[in-house]
Every structure is written in C-alpha cells, then in structure tokens.
Amino acid sequence: MKINATRRTAFTLIEIMIVVGIIGLLAIAIVPNISKNRERAQLRMIEQNLRKIDAAKNLWALENNKGSGETPSPDDLKPYDGWPRAIAGESYNINAVGSPPTATLGGRLGTNAASSVISLPQD
C-alpha cells in the first residue's frame, strides 16, 4: 500500500501579509526622502539656469560694448544659449549688467514659499 504524501509549497496568508507590511513600511520611509531630493535637485537646476543667464548676459555686454546698467532682453540672450526653460514654474528676471539675475517661484518649492525670489548664492 502506497501512501500519497502530497505537500503544498504555497505561502500562507500570514507570510504574505508580513511581506506586504514590510514593503509598506519601507515605502513610508522612502517616499518623503524622494520628494525632498527632487525639490533640492530643482533648486540646483534653477541656480544653474541663473548662472547660465548671467554668463550669457556678460557675453552679450562684452560683444555689444554695453556697460553696467544695460539690460538685455531674452531675445538678446538666445544666441548665447542663455534663456533656459522653466524647471518648476519659475520666471527669470535678467536684471541689468553688473547685477545678478533672479528667479521668482510660481509655487512653493522646498522651504521657499510661492512668489519668493531666488538669486545666485554668494561665492
């Protein structure tokens, strides 16, 4: 006489619930860090765009014999690849030659409130 000893190799409901719970805890810990890193990256990109505008503005002034106080238009800076697209709904202010450009945020970004002005960090 032969006894059929069949054994199931499936996961139990408790094991599946434990795994789902662990994955949920990991997701809760990771999601806030991802959004903070995204905001930090956007702020850095805005700063890079401000540096790009400043460099293009200085090139424009040098090539067109313009002095301090002259303000180029965005169309004047386009040949120097100096007018970037918005990263987080901000608008860029060129300002006059000799003063750094600024960006005005359209919404909240990181610790910066909506309509706050971002300028280049002082080196």
Tens digits of residue pLDDT in 29-42: 888 888 888 888 99
Is 109 a member of any domain?
Answer: yes
Q: Does 73 fall in a domain?
A: yes
Whether residue 20 is contained in a domain is answered as yes
Residue 5 lies in a domain: no
Residues 6+ apart with CB under 8 A from 103: 46, 49, 50, 90, 91, 92, 93, 117, 118, 119
Q: What is the mean pLDDT of residues 74-91?
A: 87
Question: Are the C-beta atoms of residues 104 and 115 closer than 8 Å to each other?
Answer: yes
C-alpha to C-alpha distances, 117 to 32, 78, 102, 120, 122, nearest whole angstrom: 25, 23, 7, 10, 15
Q: Is residue 8 part of a domain?
A: no
Confidence band of 52 (pLDDT split at 50, 70, 90): very high
Q: Is residue 9 part of a domain?
A: no
Model confidence at 1, pLDDT cuts 50, 70, 90, reads low
Count the domains in the chain: 1
> Which structural domain, as residue segments, surrounds residue 85?
14-119
pLDDT tens-digit map of 56-79: 999 999 999 988 889 999 999 998
Give pTM, 2 decimals: 0.72
Instruction: For residue 58, tell me if it sits in a domain.
Output: yes
